[in-house]
A and B are shown apart, each in its own frame.
Chain A
Amino acid sequence: MLFTKNKFKYFKYGAFLALLVVSISSCNKFLDLKPASEITDPTYWKTANDFKLAANFFYQNTLDDPHYSGTNNSDNMSDIAFGTQTDAVSAGTYVAPETDAVWDNAYSWIRNANKLIQEGSNAELGQDIQPYLGEGYFFRAYNYFTLVKLYGGVPIISKVLLPSDPEVFSKRADRAVVFDSILRDLNFAIADLPVKKDAETGRICKEAAQAFKARVCLFEGTWRKFRGLTGADSLLEQAYSEANNVIASNAYSLYEAKGAESYRYLFIDATSIDNPESIIVKKYRTNINVNGWAYGVSWGNLNPTKKWPMPTFARTACR
């Protein structure tokens, strides 16, 4: 009797303890945490503003920055300044690097453009996001044009890749194929983008895309013309007609706000918000986007000649 009672007691204890152990861990949801301060892909892409922010990315990143587009010392190649060290390119000692930021950056921006196009094509927001989808196409074309100018034919990536996708290891496409792709994107962009007067101030519009397409066609048309390749004439004709479209649109005019001084103030007018002469520009504004390296004059790197436009310069201090 005593024995069985004991047995029951053990069982009771055992059951209770087992319950205690199990109670803390039964739910797997404990590990399903949600980011509380970060935005995730599945929750994004719900409003037109989401697409607008995604399109904004390209303005800050892909548009050429006049300072970074060359070297800090590119004035040394002119007669207003000189360097104290031999230029590796002119000395013939320049070795092509294994990696290049232009290549890496372009594909990183293309990845974002692909994402915008992919999400925009699937979204049900319709008209509301059409301009941003157009900007996605435009900037994808813009980046491929940057690549093709420097490298010729490059791999064409038209979706958001994962490391496991075989496309990561795509071969370089034929130069002509890259241009076909650029022009196709630009045509989509021209179709999607609003005309300048309907577009938000400063954003890429239909006329800007047309002007860019004219430049692309002129570049490649000329390239082919002088190499006797096919398609040259057709490209040059497109350049001509797109340029005419821009002229006919009357969307742009010369900047004349400062009268005779207008040329001097073309890029430095602090009061001008949207210059009528500018089609696609990188913008600077105090406290928002500033270029701190306008004149990187320093001992040994950039030495002005008498032709230097500024009368004086300050030597940067040693620290």
Chain B
Amino acid sequence: MKLTIAILLACCLQASAHVYSQKKISITLSNVRLSKAFETIERNSDYRFLYNAKAVPDNLRISIQATDLSITQILDKIVKGNGLIYNIVNSKVIAVTSAKEMMRPVHVTGMVTDRDGHPLAGVTIMIQGLKRGTVSDENGHFEIEAPDNGVLELSFIGYQRQEVPVHGGQPLSIVLREATKGLDEVVVIGYGTRLRQGDLTGAVTKLSADKIESRPVTGTMDAIQGLIPGVTITRQSGQPGNQGYQLAIRGASSVNGNVPLVLIDGIPGDLSLINPEDIQDITVLKDATAAIYGARAADGVILVTTKKGKSSDKPRVSYSYNLAMKTPGIMKKATTTAHFVEMFNEANKNDGDPPAFSDSTLAKIAAHDPGVGKGENWSLQSYPMFYGSKDWYGDLFKTALRQTHNINVSGGGNNSTYLLSFGDMRDNGNISAGTNASSRDNLRLNFQTRILDNLKLDANVSYDYLDTKTPSDLNDAIDNGLKVFSYVPVRNPEGNYYGYQGYENPFQELEQGGNRRTRDSRWGNNFKLEWTPIEGLVWTGQLGINLERYDDKAYYSTNIEHNWDNSDNLLIRNNPNSAYFNSWSSVYKNYSTYLNYDKTFGRHSIKLMAGASREKFTRETENMSGADFSSNVIFTLPLSDPKNLSAGDYWDDNSWALLSYFGRAGYSYANRYFLEGTLRKDGSSKFAPEKRWSDIYPSISAAWKLSEESFFKNTIDPHLVNLFKIRASWGRTGNQDIPALGLFDYIQLISIGGKYPIDGSTVSKMAYLNGIASPERTWETIESKNLGLDLALFDSRLSLSFDIYRKNNNNMLVSVSYPSTLGAVAPSSNSGKLLDKGWEFTGGWNSKIGKVQFNLGFILNHNSNIVTDLQGQDSYNLGLTTARQGYPLNSYFGFKGTVIRTKQQLDDYAAKYAGKGIVPGLQPNGFGGLGIGDIMYEDIDGDGQITTYGDKSKGYSGDAVFLGSQDPKFTYSLTGGLKFDNFDFAFILQGTGNKYVWRGNGNFGVPLSQFWFQPLDYFYGKTYTEQNQNARYPRLSNNATVKNNNYQFSSEWLENTKYLRVKNVTIGYTFKQIVLKKFKLESLRLYFSGQDIFEWAKGTWDGMYDPEEATPDVNNPAYYENNYPMYRTFSFGINANF
């Protein structure tokens, strides 16, 4: 149905573009060039003009007012008397030339091939000076009526543009050379400014559609990972619709979050929800080039251009389908029953306790006895003991399917083009019980039309929808999958879900605990007018309106687990039942207007731009909850007990606004020297009126193409080095997109809330001061510098780029602590400093050997940061610390430890440190105190004891030291592809250098952290015993003192999770020109593609943790336990073009 509408609409658009007036012509022209006059006539009639541009005087201007005149009447008026003559050749073609040089149209035939003599189909052949031409057929053959002595322009994607003179009717044989890839590609760098890639002065990278199309990914973020130098993308979860992608350009610029500005066709948007198949290209502005976007550009800018329709005789329809199989590849595994009892008894032995599990139990476990016996596990003696072993966690996940359909229809006539696209993705979660799926729908209409000769309208309308369903207790169920002992059966003998003691049964929780649904709908409206009143001058007005509606509803149904004897378990889950309803809707309006002026005179070329924009965002949030619903299935608020209805705390209706002025000036000389400067000033509603306006953010950048200099050309063969360019840039940008910055922080706010029975029976609310107003705060300013070198060698077959950069945030908003006498937490102030620096290296090789076309790309990034000034806010915790002065963001601090393996080591260590600081006293046999197999720590500050912080007054800084950062310094990727006849093959490898993770402050990051949970199977056989003295980890224990010593945050538990991952491998075959009965297919490509299929990684604990995982929140240690596991994807897909 949807397809039918799409095609119908396409046909209508097509038809409207072909309506001509047949005979009489009415036109009004005032003071236009002759070529313009011809174009106007061509548009209003069936006639086509041929003329020799050189023969027509340049300064000739035409003014005419004609109503219902014949073509000859009009031609007489505008051609005759201007020294020109015309000739209507075959009632279609009108040839015009100067009276002196009678020009005749000739019939030109030709043949286009590549360097190897293969015919090139689809090459555009245009007549210079005329907006008319033809296209070569499958044999590379073309025919065209062209003026004698005219010039043909040939262009084809991937090949260099070529001009061929016409001499009479002799057949032409034209060889196109492959394009010096990239250098001539046009790059948009904001507000209508277009530059050839080779002329860029800043660190700008462009990624085109072919890199992201047709891959089994969940979205754009997934697709561009590892493909753009300096851009890192991390993900947090494998949960459909909630993967938690994070995007960063060149590391961090502030402790207050780093969010690059993403613009979709010039209007802010979201990369995670846009259909990757709609993207034409992505341009990333990484250095001072981004300064033109001032206010929100501190972390760089990502410009996304969506696909547009192209003029064609008939609509082009393309369809793609992908069926992906997602297998949970990386999963935690709890101990088997046999391993658990062995480890538990081992711990008992180490503590001097009798073994918890008897020999007869061990024997039954070894024999997989199906019976039930008396409980032996600690504190569970009154519950039954079972002897089987079940992988609860593993059974929670299964292989799941994802299907993606995309269809787009595009086309257009001379005046208008359109593209209509629809994408649908159904992604099923890997969870094996309950409902867990997400679906994404994307609908887009991009329409371009010339309203007037010099007025162009660009209208892009899109609708994106993401619907995610999960069991409400999903995260709870995931970590309970590890918590339930492996020996516990899922169901009792009666077939009901078994609730063993107080342990939650995750299967029951998923199936009966209720469901949560989130729905996110976005409507994007983006209209742009471009008016070109005179050549070179373009005025643009753009209006963007984004509407978004987000709904989140979660129901928590009461459910009762059963005991082994089938009686009800006393612990009732979700009692009383409850539900919450959270929704918000937002309106974002952006109006920008700017003028561009381009002029080239002689060898000088200038580009000027000036403009302004205003943006406003309003969001209304509503949130309420109820409990004790009279139904356990239907949750509508009227069914809730009225006493339990409540409005949530987060309920608001607020706006922010930005007002900006900006300008750019560019100058280049002789294609050798390039200079560009920008200025920008922003006002933000988030600051007090006096602090509202930013300084003027300037940027300046320059480039020098040495390869264009004659001395260079004389010494080095231009075929060997065809580009040698150096670049430098400097600029400042502002940051006010700071989550911690409230919308009205500059005004003292009063909160009203709470409830208390002052009179003993009714609710009294209360009013209190909400924080401290901060009228002094203003913009964070980030200064960035960049030096770059671009090289293109062997006719651009090899391209190399190197950039080195530095970003300084010199007035970062940081919290400064004041004495408590202030009475509230002081607002952050612009007094911190952060330095971020790094380099990027990119290399690409594109070539062809015989029939095999191949490319290889390599990206290597190095990025590091250091918090240079936090105003003495030097407090830190053991473990992950967001910001500490003198260290990188997200650093780990802890002790340096090693396992005590000999009596001698123990005695030496105990003599110095036993009973001091964190070290327990020495105990005989190590029972309940320090012993062999424990971890000993380095006394780094040398104060004779092991302490975290030490005594600063005595010059001791403590023994907790910097151990590493969560963020890698090195990230790299290797991509490649080859094409041979109809075969294609591509791969992406992506990896990082050292990055650290510590999983120890949850329940499973260390073995037997609590005696009531089994450990991960990974630890089996890896802990110190007399028989295993070289074990990696300390001895097992259930003793609080021993565990407290061994499970301190130390280097012993920190893992380096550097990895190299095969992100993608795709192999495809394309069939061309297939005719199935009446149905003609232009091409059909079938492919197999795998995503995240394999990795070389460290620190994953035998493949239990994904190496890409990193906790998004320092304060969320549970992340590593209840995180939805990652999966590997294997898929099959079709791309068809009609």
- Is this pair of chains taken from one and the same complex? yes
A residues within 8 Å of B by Cβ? 2, 10, 13, 17, 20-22, 24-25, 28, 30-33, 35-42, 44, 50, 53-54, 56-57, 59-60, 99, 103-104, 107-108, 110-112, 114-115, 155, 157, 160-164, 167-170, 200-203, 272-274, 283-285, 287-289, 299, 317-319
A124 vs B826: C-alpha distance when bound (angstroms): 31
Among candidates A33, A57, A163, A317, residue contacting B772 with C-beta atoms closer than 8 Å: A163
Instruction: Say yes or no: A28-B539 contact (C-beta < 8 A), given A203-B758, A288-B755.
Output: no
CB-based contact A289/B757 at 8 Å: yes
CB-based contact A56/B767 at 8 Å: yes
CB-based contact B748/A40 at 8 Å: yes
CB-based contact B652/A38 at 8 Å: yes
Q: List 29 A-B contacts (CB under 8 A).
A: A13-B534, A30-B614, A30-B616, A31-B657, A31-B658, A39-B749, A41-B747, A41-B769, A42-B747, A54-B768, A56-B754, A56-B758, A56-B766, A60-B756, A155-B821, A167-B821, A168-B819, A200-B759, A203-B759, A273-B759, A273-B760, A273-B761, A284-B757, A288-B755, A288-B757, A288-B762, A289-B755, A318-B503, A319-B502
Q: Does B593 contact A (CB under 8 A)?
A: yes
CB-based contact A283/B756 at 8 Å: yes
Name the A residues within 8 Å of B591 (CB-CB).
Answer: 24
**Inter-chain contact total with CB atoms closer than 8 Å:** 211
- A38 vs chain B, min Cβ distance (A): 5
- Which among B125-133, B682-690, B857-865 touches the partner chain? B682-690
Among candidates B592, B770, B823, residue contacting A161 with C-beta atoms closer than 8 Å: B823
A20 vs B766: C-alpha distance when bound (angstroms): 50
Q: Does B643 contact A (CB under 8 A)?
A: yes
CB-based contact B611/A285 at 8 Å: no
A287 vs B822: C-alpha distance when bound (angstroms): 34
- A129 vs chain B, min Cβ distance (A): 13
CB-based contact B772/A162 at 8 Å: yes
Q: Does B463 contact A (CB under 8 A)?
A: no
CB-based contact A24/B768 at 8 Å: no
CB-based contact B571/A317 at 8 Å: yes
Q: Which residue of B lies closest to A55 (CB)?
A: B766
CB-based contact B653/A31 at 8 Å: no
Name the B residues within 8 Å of A42 (CB-CB).
Answer: 747-748
Q: Which residue of B lies closest to A6 (CB)?
A: B31
CB-based contact A285/B761 at 8 Å: yes
Q: Report, nearest first, the 5 A-B pairs whose CB atoms are least far apart.
A: A111-B823, A317-B502, A41-B748, A53-B767, A60-B756
Q: Which residue of B lies closest to A169 (CB)?
A: B819
A30 vs B612: C-alpha distance when bound (angstroms): 13
- A6 vs chain B, min Cβ distance (A): 8
CB-based contact A107/B757 at 8 Å: no
CB-based contact B769/A112 at 8 Å: yes
Q: Which residue of A lies closest to B616 (CB)?
A: A30
B441-496 residues at the A interface, CB under 8 angstroms: 480, 483
A133 vs B775: C-alpha distance when bound (angstroms): 28
A17 vs B765: C-alpha distance when bound (angstroms): 56
Instruction: Say yes or no: A38-B744 contact (C-beta < 8 A), given A30-B614, A33-B655, A285-B761.
Output: yes
CB-based contact B593/A21 at 8 Å: yes
Q: How many residues of B contact A (CB 8 A)?
A: 81
CB-based contact A53/B749 at 8 Å: no
- A205 vs chain B, min Cβ distance (A): 12
User: In the complex, given contacts A21-B595, A273-B760, A273-B761, what are 18 additional A-B residue pairs having Cβ atoms less than 8 angstroms apart?
Assistant: A10-B534, A20-B539, A24-B593, A25-B613, A31-B658, A38-B744, A38-B749, A39-B752, A53-B752, A107-B820, A107-B822, A112-B768, A157-B821, A161-B823, A202-B759, A273-B759, A288-B757, A318-B501
Name the B residues within 8 Å of A288 (CB-CB).
Answer: 755-757, 762-763
CB-based contact A56/B764 at 8 Å: yes
Name the B residues within 8 Å of A168 (CB-CB).
Answer: 818-819, 821-822
CB-based contact B820/A36 at 8 Å: no
A157 vs B379: C-alpha distance when bound (angstroms): 53
CB-based contact B821/A283 at 8 Å: no
Instruction: Say yes or no: A36-B654 contact (C-beta < 8 A), given A56-B765, A168-B818, A318-B503.
Output: yes
CB-based contact A111/B824 at 8 Å: yes
Q: Which residue of A lies closest to B569 (CB)?
A: A317
CB-based contact B822/A319 at 8 Å: no
Name the A residues within 8 Å of B643 (CB-CB).
Answer: 287
Q: Does B401 contact A (CB under 8 A)?
A: no
- B6 vs chain A, min Cβ distance (A): 36
A317 vs B501: C-alpha distance when bound (angstroms): 8
A50 vs B751: C-alpha distance when bound (angstroms): 11
Instruction: Say yes or no: A201-B769 contact (C-beta < 8 A), given A44-B750, A168-B822.
Output: no
Among candidates A28, A37, A203, A273, residue contacting B653 with C-beta atoms closer than 8 Å: A37
- B244 vs chain A, min Cβ distance (A): 25
Name the B residues within 8 Å of A285 (CB-CB).
Answer: 757, 760-761
A44 vs B748: C-alpha distance when bound (angstroms): 10
CB-based contact A40/B744 at 8 Å: yes
- A136 vs chain B, min Cβ distance (A): 12
Among candidates A17, A31, A53, A161, residue contacting B683 with C-beta atoms closer than 8 Å: A31
A285 vs B762: C-alpha distance when bound (angstroms): 9
Instruction: Say yes or no: A53-B819 contact (C-beta < 8 A), given A44-B750, A163-B826.
Output: no
- B821 vs chain A, min Cβ distance (A): 5
Name the B residues within 8 Å of A40 (CB-CB).
Answer: 744, 747-750
Q: Does B277 contact A (CB under 8 A)?
A: no
CB-based contact B756/A33 at 8 Å: no
B582-618 residues at the A interface, CB under 8 angstroms: 591-595, 610-614, 616
Residue interface bits B528-562, CB-to-A below 8 A is 1, else 0 = 00000110010101000000000000000000000
CB-based contact B821/A161 at 8 Å: yes
Name the B residues within 8 Å of A111 (CB-CB).
Answer: 769, 822-824
CB-based contact B823/A30 at 8 Å: no
A161 vs B819: C-alpha distance when bound (angstroms): 11
Name the B residues within 8 Å of A112 (CB-CB).
Answer: 768-769, 823
Q: Which residue of B lies closest to A56 (CB)?
A: B766
Count chain A CB atoms within 10 A of each CB in B533, B613, B656, B823 and give the residue with the most.
B823
CB-based contact A30/B657 at 8 Å: yes
A28 vs B743: C-alpha distance when bound (angstroms): 17
Name the B residues within 8 Å of A318 (CB-CB).
Answer: 379, 501-503, 1012
- A34 vs chain B, min Cβ distance (A): 8
Q: Does B659 contact A (CB under 8 A)?
A: yes
- A163 vs chain B, min Cβ distance (A): 5
A13 vs B531: C-alpha distance when bound (angstroms): 11
Q: Does B651 contact A (CB under 8 A)?
A: yes
CB-based contact A35/B757 at 8 Å: no
Instruction: Say yes or no: A37-B821 contact (C-beta < 8 A), given A25-B612, A57-B767, A163-B772.
Output: no
A163 vs B816: C-alpha distance when bound (angstroms): 10
CB-based contact B756/A13 at 8 Å: no
Q: Which residue of A lies closest to B774 (CB)?
A: A163
Name the A residues within 8 Å of B595 (CB-CB).
Answer: 17, 21
A274 vs B762: C-alpha distance when bound (angstroms): 12
Q: Does B692 contact A (CB under 8 A)?
A: yes
Name the A residues within 8 Å of B657 (CB-CB).
Answer: 30-31, 33
- B474 vs chain A, min Cβ distance (A): 16
Name the B residues within 8 Å of A110 (CB-CB).
Answer: 823
CB-based contact A21/B612 at 8 Å: yes
- B512 vs chain A, min Cβ distance (A): 18
Count chain A CB atoms within 10 A of each CB in B534, B767, B827 and give the residue with the most.
B767
Count chain B CB atoms within 10 A of each CB in A56, A155, A157 and give the residue with the most.
A56
Name the A residues within 8 Å of B689 (CB-CB).
Answer: 31-32
